[in-house]
Amino acid sequence: MNKEGVMALNITNRKADELTRRFAQMEGVNISDAVTIAMEEAIARRRTNETMRDKVRRVLKKHGIEPSPTASEPLPREIYDEMWGDVRDEH
């Protein structure tokens, strides 16, 4: 950490450096802002492209919960019928 309490980012990969500098120039911002913008956009893009199943897995993992092997199996129709009050008399 530097004296302002901010972590330094040291880019040692040539391609990463070139891409970051090109992006900073395109956006008219400094290197730190370019990295921030690019990371915010990348995270937002991944979140919006994330399927519900992926989102559930991510949240479970974040909280240290192991998904059940049967969690992805569909529920029987009777469960939905009962949930929606559509219980039919089978007689």
Q: Quick check: 84 pLDDT over 60?
A: yes
Q: Are 9 and 32 spatial neighbours (Cβ–Cβ below 8 Å)?
A: yes
Any domain includes 43: yes
Any domain includes 44: yes
Any domain includes 75: no
Any domain includes 42: yes
Any domain includes 8: no
Alpha helices in the chain (DSSP H): 14-27, 31-49, 52-62, 77-83
Any domain includes 90: no
The domain containing residue 53 runs over which residues?
Answer: 14-65
The residue written with tokens 């880019």 in the block is 11
Any domain includes 85: no
* Predicted confidence (pLDDT) per residue in 23-69, tens digit: 999 999 999 999 999 999 999 988 888 788 888 888 888 899 888 87
What total of structural domains would you count in the chain?
Answer: 1
CA-to-CA distance for 53 and 69, rounded, in angstroms? 13
| 3 state DSSP class of 31 | helix
